[in-house]
Amino acid sequence: MTPPIRIDPATGLKAFATRAAKATEKIAGVGYMPVKDETLITLPPAPAGAVFNAEEQARYREYNQSRAGAADYITMEGQFSKYLEDVYSAPPVEREALTDDCDIVIIGAGFAAMLLWYKVREAGFRDVRVCEKGGDVGGTWYWNRYPGIACDVESYSYLPLLEEMGYYPTMKFASGFEIYEYCQKMAEKLDFYDRCLFHTTVDRTEWDEASARWIVSTDRGDRMRARVVVLANGSLTTPKLARIEGMETFKGEAFHTSRWNYHVDLKDKRVGIIGTGASAVQVVPEIAKVVKELYVFQRTPSTIDVRDQRMTTPDEIETWSKEPNWAKKRRERLARISSGRTALKGNDDYLSGKVDDYRGPRRTPERKLTPEELMQAQLNTNFRIMEQIRARIDAIVKDPKTAAALKPYYAYGCKRPTFHDEYLPTFNLPHVHLVDTAPVGVNRINEAGVVHDGVQYDLDVIIYATGFQWMGAGSFNMIVGRDGRSLRGKWAEEGVRTFLGLHSRGFPNLFILSGPQSGGGQFNFTRTMESQTDYVAWLLKTARERGNVLVDVSKEAEEAYSAHCREADLRTRPLRDCLSYYNGDGNAEPGSLAYYGGPEKWHEIRMQAQTTLDPYVFEQTAA
């Protein structure tokens, strides 16, 4: 048996074997399969002449204002900490605490960490350690293993390193279980497992000026001294629970979708699912196949667009096997699509290079439109898409009252779009019931189930599909920089301040992947991570060439970039005029979360920085 900590004779570095065993073989499933019924995979035509006029704007505004203040979430501590427990792995592998030096510590073991390891290893950095709170690799695909889980971005562009792995996804929108297994294959081939400390949560990372090192402390007693720390936690990693009166009194089984309890058999059970976002849209059709009664508690409906899933064909595999960099080329084509909906639908002819333009015939405007006219044109386009999505509901859902409740009234894309061909018809089943809790959500939970509007819904199981904190990685609280402030403390006092979303002044040799204000990849997370990990690898090499100097950024560069993020957010805000996690349920300061300047602008700023080196503060150190 391989010891948990050993010395690699080839490098002289410590290597690890801390991967945990699977908790139960019941953890298995598939994504959504292809649907042949044309009525389910076709949107009704766009209404002719439909525009987002003052009347429709007022309707949207009323719809959103009625929900203001309804988003209220609890901290998963004390009696609610059980919703964060790792239910997928056996107990942690016992090991001794690490109190030595290393070059790089990466926090998180998902796509970003594996891509970064692949690139820094190629650049000659081998003394790398990865702290991961879960029992295996995969990040979001480790934690989210609910029935029906699948990727929303086409897997041929989403899965990283497909050419290097010689792998072809089995479906266009791969099952989350397939993606998780692919992560394990990558980790094995890239020797990533040797770098990983699983079931290891970083409690605190504090800068030590005297040694010019980050002191990384964990819940396993580690106190590692790292020259560089990289946060690769992801942007949607911390689950959240809606605050509902009495939820702690429920006597049945309850769990969050990101900690799916496969020990709970749902067959012939009365099940309630609270929330109708991206996870619930995938869960509901699957569990409806086995439960006795299903109650779907909905505060705000999602947009349910056509998915049109399909299997990968032998002809495609044959073609791709002969085309160098086939997946990279496809990913680059996907990145040229400016419309989020068009990108997520994934036009095969365009992405495979068979046609040069994904938009088809276009009219040439008689004159150049003003920014205001361009914004209105985009709002009109989004409105027509929403009209089609609402018409789809009428065409599929038989009960008029249920259909009306399922119709969303907000700008397309201001909440996370969803795609599914079996979700809407599920509400035609006699044992599936939509409980409309608009505008403020479920009233109360008691020992027997959910109470809403005076009606008691007796349940055996409650499933919380209440989502995640956007840009809410807990690690921001425990990163302590030069002035003794935490990263979140700095941002609370000054507002979010970064350069490129990857640096924050006063935190030298710290890189934040996929954090607030970061860009570079548009709708495909993998392309974002390719851009950001390329950048980190470049800067590590640059620092090495200068004698392993410390890297920070100037106050001027940080302030200018953060002001740009604010301006870009405000300029495009009409496209996101609703309450969603994208804007902190309406409470986030402009420019403090996602980057809305567009990938071209982000890359322009990045390339200028890499050419001039002006934003960087390089510091020599004796350590």
* C-alpha span between 28 and 268 (Å, rounded): 20
Provide mean pLDDT across the span 255-268: 97
Residue position matching structure tokens 């704007």: 57
Mean pLDDT of 414-426: 95
What gap in Å lies between CA 16 and CA 105, rounded to an integer? 14
State the fold for domain 5-27+96-137+192-238+470-558+595-619: FAD/NAD(P)-binding domain (3.50.50)
Cα separation, 355 vs 314, whole angstroms: 21
Please report the beta strands in 529-613, taking only residues with DSSP state E, as ranges in sequence order: 550-553
Q: What span, in angstroms and rounded, lies between the C-alpha atoms of 269 and 147?
A: 16
Beta strand 432-436 with 293-298 is parallel
Strand partners, 480: 206, 486
Determine the pLDDT at residue 574.
Answer: 87
- Cα 194 from chain centroid (whole Å): 26
Query: How far does CA 375 lie from the centroid of its chain?
Result: 27
* Range list for CATH 3.50.50.60 in the chain: 5-27+96-137+192-238+470-558+595-619, 54-77+240-307+371-464
For residue 47, the model assigns a pLDDT of 87
For position 358, what pLDDT does the model report? Answer: 60
Q: Within 10 A of 236 (CB to CB), how many other CB atoms are there?
A: 22
Q: 70-91: per-residue pLDDT in tens? A: 778 888 888 899 999 999 999 9
DSSP codes, 443-502:
-EEETTEEEETTEEEE-SEEEE---EETT--THHHHEE-TTS-BHHHHHHHH----BTTT
The yes or no reply on domain 54-77+240-307+371-464 and CATH 3.50.50.60 is yes
pLDDT tens figures, 95-134: 999 999 999 999 999 999 999 999 999 999 999 999 999 9
Average pLDDT, the chain: 92
DSSP 574: G
pLDDT greater than 70 at residue 288: yes
Tell me the residue type at 497: R
Give the C-alpha separation, 150 to 406, whole Å: 22
**pLDDT at residue 333, rounded to an integer:** 86
**In terms of DSSP bridges, do strands 213-218 and 202-208 run parallel, antiparallel, or are they unpaired?**
antiparallel
Q: Report how far apart, in Å, the C-alpha atoms of 27 and of each of 262, 281, 512 are.
A: 6, 20, 32
DSSP code, position 603: H
- How many C-beta atoms surround the C-beta of residue 430 within 10 A? 6
